[in-house]
Chains A and B, each alone.
Chain A
Amino acid sequence: MKSLVFLEHHEGKLQQDSLGVLGKAAGLGGEVEAALLGEGVEGLASEAGKHGASRVYVADDVLLAAPLPQPRVDALESLVNEGGHDTVLFAASVLSADVAAGLAARLGAGLNWDLTDLVEEDGRLVGKRPALGDSVYVDVGWTTEPRLALIRSGTFEPAETGGSAEVEKIEPRLQDFSLAARMVEQAHEESEGPSIEDADVIVAGGRGLGGPENFALVEELAKALGGAVAATRAVVDAGWYPYAAQVGQTGKTVSPKLYVAVGISGAIQHKVGMQSSGLIVAINKDPNAPIFEYADLGVVGDLHEIVPKLTELVRARKAA
């Protein structure tokens, strides 16, 4: 096997998920190389070496400064064509999903996504993919090389192997259309807002609340339980609650002792951010909501009735 791992970085740091995938690639054996694309990123290569890469290709280019997918497809295309990698691995993110799919089209290569494991079975590489709301596990594979894979976020923990990487500078040729999209304003970490990652109890609100004013119900319950307030992507995108409180694939990953989901349907993007919570309690009026498939206790009903009553009962219990 000769693998190439796409390394994502943000504000001068390699993403933990990328390092985890790098470690997985090293565990599978063979030659493991990595691609580090950006501006002023060479210093991150040694970290990749410690996590299993024997060689890191570094492209240092102002045109790669913004985290936009298309120029990265150009860079990876020439790397894979020249390097002859049979496997290209990505830790799933907004950026890397777009890079992986663009590369699949460019190379005419197969891409499997949302994988939670990669194993060698009967002499072939097999990806494990939970499907249909994780109700069935699918073993997937590739009919040609290179094999492209997106690994679900949070799947592999980074582990240092103590190695070191050779750095090879590259100067990818970027296509005009790849440079047509332009970053006007790049996101920066929002420091304000509640810290939900350290909370033991989280009460989260979703679109089922009906409107931003109803977040008061969630806040009251969180206060009674001594917990923090979280939100789903849909309500954050809609401007009901700040991004800092978002749980899910493009938000925070949390694992409190208790997670109370209020008016949250619990689609996979949300699930990956909170599934390792100790106890999950869900309140939703839709009996078919996916969250009921993995909530320890699910209550089908009107949150406007249940939540205020629950807040009262918790307060009374704590006062007693």
Chain B
Amino acid sequence: MKIAVCAKHVPEATAQRRLDPQTKRLDRSGEGTLNQFDVHAVEEALKLRDASGDGEVVIVSLGPERAFEAMRKALAMGADRVVLVSDEGAAGSDLVATSRILAAALEREGADLVLFGQQANDSDGAVLWAAVADRLQRPLISQVAELTHEDGKVRGKRQTEFGYDVIEAPLPAVIAVSDAINEPRYPSLKGIMGAKKKPQETVSLGDLGVSAGEAGEAGSRTVVYALSDPPARGDTVKIEDDGSGAEKIVQFLQEKKAL
């Protein structure tokens, strides 16, 4: 089974995230990492590949050249190769443009299964898979907390506002998994050493047959007008527990007459 995992290079979770007031885009100059939600998609892909006995896990990403550093973690975990769409013309792509570019890259791979993580850590976006599935004209199951594969079909347990659904789809299909679906493995030393030798390919928009007008700001249909501070909220207090944390909570609750 050939599985493609769509993965994103995002700023480190501990880094101070900010929007650049000039470009109004996320400042991506700091340290980057593999989107933590995508790590679960990588893990699920590896499990499915290994259970099926043969096949391949390819990581497909859109981002700057240095996104390879982040994707190397997926290789160290056991993914087979990386395809990175890297092109200045793709910067600033919104959902419409990003889904077009990713779908073109995925068409080229022709995977049986395309996996997404639950959301992007930076933009809080949790919709890309549905746009990609529509462009690929493949069945979609999102918010999947449990995934099984049998007889050319996948079955996913989907969590919605009303509980759990069970949905089945024939391959090829697009699946977005929740971050509770598995406990991702840590890369082994051997995996980390071997990652550098695995194929890492860069493709341009031209390679994918995506024109300049279909990508980046030109290919996007949404725009950011302005940034502002959120409305002020009440004071928040953060303290380090020095052994008196529980007492301080009780004190606080009494002050607020909540106890």
Contact = CB atoms under 8 A, between A and B. Distances in A.
A235 B249 CA distance: 25
A165 interface: no
Interface secondary structure of B, over-half rule: mixed
A217 interface: no
A319 interface: no
A137 B230 CA distance: 5
A296 B236 contact: yes
Interface secondary structure of A, over-half rule: mixed
A78 B127 CA distance: 21
A295 B241 contact: no
Interface stretch (B60-68, B81-89, B160-168): B160-168
Interface stretch (B51-59, B132-140, B188-196, B198-206): B132-140
A287 to B, nearest CB: 8
Given A95-B160, A142-B221, A257-B258, A310 B127 contact: no
A305 B225 CA distance: 47
Interface size, B (range): 35 or more
Interface of B: 13-14, 17-19, 24, 26, 94-96, 99-100, 122-135, 137-143, 145, 155, 158-170, 173, 178-181, 220-230, 233-241, 243, 245-250, 252-254, 256, 258-259
8 contacts: A94-B159, A97-B127, A101-B131, A109-B221, A137-B227, A138-B227, A237-B181, A298-B236
Given A104-B95, A138-B227, A139-B224, 7 more contacts: A138-B228, A142-B223, A183-B166, A234-B179, A243-B163, A301-B245, A309-B246
Interface of A: 10, 67-70, 73, 93-95, 97-106, 108-114, 126, 130-132, 134-144, 150, 175, 177, 180-190, 201, 225, 233-238, 243, 249-251, 257-258, 268, 278-279, 281, 283, 287-288, 292-302, 305-307, 309-310, 312-314, 317
